[in-house]
């Protein structure tokens, strides 16, 4: 089929028979729903930019299976250069959309499943690796957007999957048949799933022998029978229904999450990538998490670039751009943002090949990257709010700006620096509000904390991988200690 244009992608989603619910009602046309459409536009941008010669080098790659040009989001990394281009692509897309563009999870799942299935087959003689290769080729040939589904609801966090009072708190196999398996459960926080043609499901934690039914990985179409998607709420989400462009802040782009319910969904044998091999659940989780923690050194930095620019414009429009403390705050925002980018590039440059042949990042540095992401965007956001001023959250609405009675008052009292219109001042303030507190905050601030694992998850991996005994030996040698 070849690579799709953005419009072809939109039409492909229009043909999907998705079961999407929001505010208690079924959404028959998610593509054109005013709340959901900005999230689709963000994914559409990944298709449009892949057709643009200016961004071709970042957005596309040669398939390792066919040699054909494919969207980089469907690529199996073949070198450290590929890993670095991934991060650069993500930063560029963050700059272009100021939102979550939703395809990173699928790309990271592709590479984690590719290498893990190879090692499962090596030990057990299974056919998971071939299953995945054929599936990946299928997705590349059709230029699909693929959602990666890892996070389970988890129920009681102090109990293993098999110990839960309700066994469906972790997605599990409920029936094994000659032609495939039947699965039941749910995946939470699924970014972009309603804008994807396919879902790759993975386990969410390391597992023991009693969790065999939960150690499962597979792929299904997003409109497979038995799949229901329930849209998550976001701050200021219903502003998109009011017909106001200004008040939304970022009217064109956005992100959206959903709780995805699997009601006895059938998975054929050729789409199964793990089925009870519990000792490989942890490997798959660790590799996926590493790739996804690398991703945040790109996408969050790109959105950060927009927020820094918005804060600088707000200072200019407010008439205080020359104040030394404003300059210093902007410098600090840039310092923090570039530090995140350094981490994303560093863990990519230090990558190495897996047994399967694709490249994986340096896991220690990827976890350091994400640990910084759990902190720095919050400080960048705090400084942006400081620079913008309280008017960011108290400004009148666009309707009041246009109002026959209220308009003249808004124009009179919301003015800032001479030469800057009130409308432009309000537009940049609403963008900052959107990035720090509104719908985009889900994909910037809160996702920075909890996406790809909570802060403690990274600290555990840093502890495991930083080789403290080796550091002790360095110190003993320098201090001439013998024991």
Domain boundary among 233, 248, 280: 280
Of the candidates 292, 347, 359, 374, the residue annotated as catalytic is: 292
| Phi-psi group of 23: left, alpha or beta (phi > 0 → left; psi -120 to 50 → alpha; rest → beta) | left
Please indicate, yes or no, if residue 483 is contained in any of the structural domains: no
Task: Give me the tens of pLDDT residue by residue for the chain, a chain 483 residues long.
Answer: 689 999 999 999 999 999 999 999 999 999 999 999 999 999 999 999 999 999 999 999 999 999 999 999 999 999 999 999 999 999 999 999 999 999 999 999 999 999 999 999 999 999 999 999 999 999 999 999 999 999 999 999 999 999 999 999 999 999 999 999 999 999 999 999 999 999 999 999 999 999 999 999 999 999 999 999 999 999 999 999 999 999 999 999 999 999 999 999 999 999 999 999 999 999 999 999 999 999 999 999 999 999 999 999 999 999 999 999 999 999 999 999 999 999 999 999 999 999 999 999 999 999 999 999 999 999 999 999 999 999 999 999 999 999 999 999 999 999 999 999 999 999 999 999 999 998 888 889 888 999 888 899 999 999 999 999 999 999 999 999 998
**Catalytic residue list contains 257:** yes
For residue 421, indicate whether it is catalytic. no
Element (H, E) at 367: helix 363-373
Selected catalytic residue, list 119, 198, 257, 286: 257
Cα–Cα dist 109/295, whole Å: 12
Q: Which of 296, 317, 359, 444 is catalytic?
A: 296
Whether residue 229 sits in one domain with residue 302: no
Which member of 104, 343, 347, 436 is catalytic? Answer: 104
Both 123 and 230 in one domain: the answer is: yes
For residue 479, tell me if it sits in a domain.
no
Domain count, the chain: 2
Is residue 474 in some structural domain? no
Active site residue 139: no
Three-class secondary structure of residue 371 per DSSP: helix
Contact between 87 and 298 under an 8 Å Cβ cutoff? The reply is: yes
Residue 53: Cβ-neighbour burial (10 angstroms; 0-12, 13-18, 19+): exposed
309 and 227 in a common domain: no
Same domain? For 23 and 119 the reply is: yes
With a CB cutoff of 8 Å and minimum separation 6, the contacts of 382 are none
385 is an active site residue? no
Among 100, 139, 343, 347, the one annotated catalytic: 100
Residues 262, 332 share a domain: no
Residues 139 and 271 in one domain: yes
Q: 265 and 344: one domain?
A: no
Asked if the structure places residue 476 within a domain, the reply is: no
Whether 403 is covered by a domain: the verdict is yes
Look at residues 254, 252, 232 and name the one whose alpha carbon lies nearest to residue 99. 254
Q: 139, 299, 347, 436: which one is catalytic?
A: 299
The domain boundary, picked from 250, 280, 310, lies at: 280
Burial per residue of 82-92, b for 16 or more beta-carbon CB atoms within 10 angstroms, e otherwise: bbbbbbbbbbb
The domain of 195 spans 6-280
Domain check: are 263 and 323 in the same one? no
Q: 344 and 271 in one domain?
A: no
- Is 58 a domain residue? yes
Q: Any catalytic annotation for residue 447?
A: yes
pTM: 0.96
CATH number of the domain within which 367 lies: 1.20.140.10
Together in a domain, 239 and 378: no
Same structural domain, 222 and 353: no
Neighbours of 296 (CB within 10 A): 26
Choosing from 46, 191, 222, 354, which is the catalytic residue? 191
Residue 483 appears among annotated catalytic residues: no
CATH number of 160's domain: 2.40.110.10
Catalytic (active site) residue 100: yes
81 in a structural domain: yes
* Residue where one domain finishes, among candidates 235, 250, 280: 280
CB atoms within 10 A of CB 141: 16
Has residue 475 been placed in a domain? no
């Amino acid at each position: 089929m070849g690579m799709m244009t953005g419009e072809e992608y939109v039409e492909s989603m229009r043909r999907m028979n998705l079961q999407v619910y929001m505010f208690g009602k079924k959404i028959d046309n998610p593509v054109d729903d005013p709340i959901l459409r900005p999230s689709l536009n963000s994914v559409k941008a990944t298709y449009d930019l892949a057709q643009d010669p200016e961004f071709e080098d970042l957005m596309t790659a040669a398939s390792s299976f066919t040699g054909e040009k494919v969207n980089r989001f469907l690529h199996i990394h073949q070198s450290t250069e590929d890993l670095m281009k991934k991060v650069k692509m993500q930063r560029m897309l963050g700059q272009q959309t100021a939102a979550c563009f939703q395809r990173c999870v699928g790309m990271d799942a592709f590479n984690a499943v590719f290498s893990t299935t190879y090692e499962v087959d090596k030990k057990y003689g299974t056919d998971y690796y071939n299953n995945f290769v054929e599936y990946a080729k299928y997705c590349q040939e059709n230029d699909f957007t693929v959602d990666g589904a890892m996070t389970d609801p988890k129920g009681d966090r102090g109990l293993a999957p098999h110990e839960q009072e309700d066994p469906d708190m972790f997605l599990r196999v409920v029936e094994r048949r000659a032609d495939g398996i039947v699965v039941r459960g749910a995946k939470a926080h699924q970014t972009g799933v309603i804008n994807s043609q396919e879902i790759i499901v993975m386990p969410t934690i390391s597992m023991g022998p009693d969790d065999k039914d939960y150690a499962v990985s597979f792929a299904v179409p997003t409109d497979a029978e038995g799949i229901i998607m329930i849209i998550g709420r976001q701050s200021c989400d219903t502003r998109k229904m009011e017909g106001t462009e200004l008040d939304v802040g970022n009217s064109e782009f956005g992100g959206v999450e959903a709780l995805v319910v699997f009601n006895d969904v059938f998975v054929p044998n050729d789409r199964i990538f793990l089925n009870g091999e519990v000792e490989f659940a942890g490997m798959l989780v660790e590799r996926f998490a590493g790739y996804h923690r690398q991703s945040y050194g790109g996408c969050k930095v790109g959105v950060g670039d927009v927020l820094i620019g918005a804060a600088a414009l707000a200072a200019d429009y407010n008439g205080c751009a020359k104040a030394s403390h404003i300059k210093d705050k902007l410098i600090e925002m840039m310092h923090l943002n570039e530090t995140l980018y350094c981490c994303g590039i560093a863990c990519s440059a230090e990558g190495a090949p897996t047994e399967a042949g694709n490249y994986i990042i340096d896991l220690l540095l990827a976890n350091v990257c994400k640990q910084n992401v759990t902190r720095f965007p919050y400080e960048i956001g705090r400084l942006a709010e400081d620079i913008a001023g309280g008017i960011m959250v108290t400004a009148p609405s666009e309707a009041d700006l246009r109002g026959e009675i209220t308009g003249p008052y808004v124009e009179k009292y919301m003015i800032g620096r001479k030469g800057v219109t009130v409308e432009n001042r309000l537009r940049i303030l609403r963008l900052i509000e959107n990035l720090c507190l509104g719908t985009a905050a889900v994909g910037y601030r809160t996702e920075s904390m909890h996406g790809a694992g909570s802060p403690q998850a990274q600290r555990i991996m840093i502890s495991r991988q930083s080789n403290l005994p080796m550091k002790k030996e360095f110190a003993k040698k320098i201090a001439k200690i013998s024991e």
